[in-house]
Amino acid sequence: MNKPELLVTPKSVSHVEALLEAGADAFLIGEEKFGLRLAGEFTLEDVKTITTLVHAAGKKVYVAMNAIFHNDRVPLLAPYMKAIDEIGVDAIYFGDPAVVMTKRELDSKTPLHWDAETIATNWFQANYWGKRGATRAYLARELGVEEIIEIKENADVEIEVQVHGMTCMFQSKRPLLGNYFLYQGKAMEVENRKEARNMFLYDKERGNKYPIYEDYNGTHIYSPADMCIIDELEELFEANIDVFRIEGVLHEEAYIVTVVEQYRKAIDAYFENEDTYIDMKEELVEAIEAIQPALRPMDTGFFFKETVY
């Protein structure tokens, strides 16, 4: 059994430093022109700075190119990938096959990690993209723990799963917030709130609140609860899941740091002795509950929830 890599999406360069301190093993960064729903916005200059910083600590840096690209962005893919190659990051996250094509054309040596969000649902797909250059697959969040384990047992690539944070459940190309304001005749709101990430949709019937925001890639809607499975990690350890992801998007820097610290403790404790981890669970959960925003309940996502169809 190997310790899983603890991956986090940071919000800023200084945040990366704090997260290294907190025990993160890997960082996924990038900019919204190429990457989806990142916690922070990082220019190529930032990527360079962070790579130096993180590599000096012996840890990993990945850049997101996992957007759904339209023709207008296709000419930008090769220059961006070349720049990333030169910086020497450890991998590129992708969902759109245009990135695979670009890698072939450039003969880029930077490995690919397959990240097609909601559609990454079985081991065959993971291996399919493995044959086309991916060394890792980031699984859909709508999978049960049994499904995740079966995927890992059959996968030829590393398997990454989200263990904490918000999950995206919807992406539209349309500016749905802006459209609503325009419909209401509030053109000013569009300007005022375009960059704001403090809005949510209230679902009266279910009493749920779904965070929502707009960016270059369209409109994104998030789950009503934050995933937290810090006290349910045994099966993932036993299955040798390669990467645990902590999703930082829409959370405060300090919150993400504390969460990373707790997962770091959990992983280290388990690999020291399973009982140490079990004894520690309550304390880990309490530490997160203490800082959990009032608006965000916690749940275990789809780990123990089946869907029908």
By CB under 8 A, the residues from 46 to 75 that bind another protein are: 68-71, 73-74
Residue 205: both structure tokens together: 């019937």
Residue span binding another protein (CB under 8 A) among the ranges 52-60, 206-214, 235-243, 260-268 = 206-214
Nearer to another protein, 212 or 287 (CB): 212
Nearer to another protein, 66 or 262 (CB): 66
Comparing CA positions, the residue from 72, 67, 46, 57 lying closest to residue 19 is: 57
Residue 244: both structure tokens together: 């645990």
Residues 161-190, mask of contacts with another protein (x by CB under 8 A)? --------xxxxxx-xxxxxxxxx----x-
Collapsed DSSP state (helix, strand, coil) of residue 137:
strand
Question: Alpha carbon 92 to chain centroid distance?
Answer: 13
Check residue 198 for interaction with another protein (CB under 8 A): yes
Which residues have CB under 8 Å from 183's CB, separation 6+? none
Q: Which amino acid is at 241?
A: I
**In sequence order, what DSSP letters do the residues of 221-277 get, joined into one string?**
EE-SSEEE-TT--HHHHHTT--EEEE--TTS-HHHHHHHHHHHHHHHHHHHH-HHHH
Question: CB 300 → another protein: shortest distance, Å?
Answer: 13
Region 279-308 residues binding another protein, contact defined as CB under 8 A: 294-295, 302, 305-308
Check residue 33 for interaction with another protein (CB under 8 A): no
Which residues have CB under 8 Å from 278's CB, separation 6+? none
Check residue 195 for interaction with another protein (CB under 8 A): no
Region 207-236 residues binding another protein, contact defined as CB under 8 A: 208-210, 212, 218, 221, 223-224
- The single residue among 25, 96, 214, 261 that binds another protein, judged by CB under 8 A, is 96
Q: Report the half-sphere exposure of 8 (CA within 13 A, side-chain side).
A: 31
Question: CB 200 → another protein: shortest distance, Å?
Answer: 6
- The single residue among 100, 106, 287, 291 that binds another protein, judged by CB under 8 A, is 100
Question: CB 91 → another protein: shortest distance, Å?
Answer: 20
Which residues have CB under 8 Å from 277's CB, separation 6+? 233, 234, 266, 269, 270
Collapsed DSSP state (helix, strand, coil) of residue 116:
coil
Q: Are 92 and 112 in contact (CB under 8 A)?
A: yes
- The single residue among 13, 53, 83, 101 that binds another protein, judged by CB under 8 A, is 101
- The single residue among 21, 86, 88, 199 that binds another protein, judged by CB under 8 A, is 199
Comparing CA positions, the residue from 220, 211, 247, 199 lying closest to residue 67 is: 220
Nearer to another protein, 221 or 287 (CB): 221
Region 103-162 residues binding another protein, contact defined as CB under 8 A: 117-119, 121-125, 128-129, 140, 142-143, 147, 150-151, 154
Nearer to another protein, 9 or 223 (CB): 223
Nearer to another protein, 57 or 187 (CB): 187
Q: How many residues bind another protein (CB under 8 A)?
A: 73
